Amino acid sequence: MSVLRLEHVTKRFGGLVAVNDLSFEVKERQIHALIGPNGSGKSTSINMINGSFPVTSGKIYFNDKDITGWKMHKIAAAGMGRTYQNLKLFRSMTALENVMIGGQLHAKMNFARFLIDPFKTKREEEELREKAMEIMRFIGIEQYADRTVGNLPYGRQKMTELARTLMIDPTLILLDEPAAGLNPNERAEFVAIIKKVYESGKDILLIEHNMDIIMNISHVITVINHGAKIAEGTPTEIQNDPEVIRAYLGDRYKIGMEGE
Ligand SMILES: Nc1ncnc2c1ncn2[C@@H]1O[C@H](COP(=O)(O)OP(=O)(O)O)[C@@H](O)[C@H]1O
Ligand SMILES: [Mg+2]
């Protein structure tokens, strides 16, 4: 079964073609990486996939269902979760509260409504709290539950955002540069968590800049440049693809240095 399929997807912002006739497929039980230089259209692709931006043309299928034009909350409710390149947390709320909001966003709730009417019933709140704690234990951040999230180290904030995404029980998770801005220790922790999430049965589409991470955890890599696909294959195939090396990897990765 195909988990996610893009068919000839294009996104124009005025005169700029941010994503250009992009087709690729995420298969079941895979960590699929989408890589490319800055500005090559990676975040725009994720934004179209989860319904943040409408496509200009083309089709997007989730579990073989045509979701082109669906609203973001409907796509989330169908089982697609995502994190953002720039964190979207309520900095003055606790980590636990931030994770709990993920459950509220499930169907029709939105942030504004949450602020007016946080939880419908005491029981609903209790259930969400328990589920959020369970997920935080799974990620390994339960000890930060009651801390104000804005005061946590950046790596913990990113883990909190990932935990929040899991509240909707997604089958597919889109991660937009999850390791960006993390120090090497935090990065190693995050890679371990991504693997754990994958092993718990979730499929993953990963945008990442750090080549060591990509080569370490992805099964398939799609490479884009100027919004268009230039290569696709296993980490080994991509590492040795002359066009990828020319457009993106440069000689640095080849000789064993980090891609950043
Ligand atoms: N909302 C937007 N409005 C106009 N241009 C945008 C918008 N979002 C992204 N772009 C442009 O689209 C191109 C691709 O951006 P993006 O998808 O963020 O790249 P990446 O994530 O690969 O770094 C860039 O030229 C960027 O400036
Ligand atoms: Mg981006």
Q: Which two tokens stand for residue 33?
A: 């990486």
Is 10:229 a contact under the CB 8 Å cutoff? no
Ranges 39-48, 111-120, 126-135, 137-146: which has the least confidence: 111-120
42 lines ligand 1 (CB under 6 A): yes
pLDDT in tens, 196-255: 999 999 999 999 878 888 988 999 999 999 999 999 999 999 988 888 888 776 655 543
Q: Which of 11, 13, 222, 223 to mutate to test the pocket of ligand 1 (most atoms within 8 A of CB)?
A: 13
* Ligand 2: centre distance to CA 85 (Å): 6
Average pLDDT, the chain: 89
SS3 138: helix
Residue carrying structure tokens 């371990």: 192
Pair of tokens at residue 249:
């990897």
The amino acid at residue 153 is P
pLDDT at 85 over 90: no
CB atoms within 10 A of CB 231: 20
**What is 197-228 written as a DSSP string?**
HHHTT-EEEEE---HHHHHHH-SEEEEEETTE
Output the CA 133–ligand 1 centroid distance in Å: 35
Q: What mean pLDDT do residues 72-97 have?
A: 90
Q: Which domains does the chain have, with CATH numbers?
A: 28-54+66-79+172-260 (3.40.50.300), 86-169 (3.40.50.300)
Residue 114 confidence (pLDDT): 60
- Ligand 1 centre from 215 Cα, in Å? 25
Q: Which amino acid does the sequence have at 226?
A: H
* 223, 231 contact by CB (below 8 A): yes
199 alpha carbon – ligand 1 mean position (Å): 32
What is the per-residue pLDDT for 113? 59
Cβ of 13 closer than 6 Å to ligand 1, yes or no, is yes
Quick check: 172 and 26 in contact, CB under 8 A?
yes
**Is 257's pLDDT higher than 50?**
no
Based on the number of CB atoms within 10 Å of its own CB, is 77 exposed (0-12), middle (13-18) or buried (19 or more)?
middle
Q: Which of 172, 190, 175, 187 is nearest to 61 (CA)?
A: 172
Q: Summarize the confidence of residues 22-41 as an average pLDDT.
A: 95
What type of residue sits at position 249? L
Specify the pLDDT at position 86. Answer: 78
Nearest-CA residue for atom 27 of ligand 1? 39
In the block, residue with structure tokens 């296993």: 234
Nearest ligand, CA of residue 16? 1
Nearest to 40 by CA among 68, 13, 14, 20: 20
Report pLDDT digits (tens) over 155-186: 999 999 999 999 999 999 999 999 889 999 99
Residue nearest to atom 11 of ligand 1 (CA): 18
Closest atom of ligand 1 to 40 CA is: 22
Residue 87: is it exposed, middle or buried by C-beta count within 10 angstroms (0-12/13-18/19+)?
middle
Q: Compute the distance from residue 11 Cα to the ligand 1 centre, in Å.
A: 10
The closest alpha carbon to 50, from 100, 13, 105, belongs to 105
In short, whether 36's Cβ falls inside 6 Å of ligand 1 is yes
What is the four-CA torsion angle of 197, 199, 200, 205, rounded to 10 degrees? 50
Distance (angstroms) between ligand 1 centre and the Cα of 141 equals 32
Q: Are 6 and 23 in contact (CB under 8 A)?
A: yes
Neighbours of ion ligand 2 (CB under 5 A): 42-43, 85
Tokens of 28: 């079941």
User: What pLDDT, on the 0 to 100 scale, is given for residue 64?
Assistant: 96
d(Cα 259, Cα 177) in Å, to the nearest integer? Answer: 14
In contact, 48 and 9? CB cutoff 8 Å: yes
Q: Which ligand is nearest to the CA of 177?
A: 2
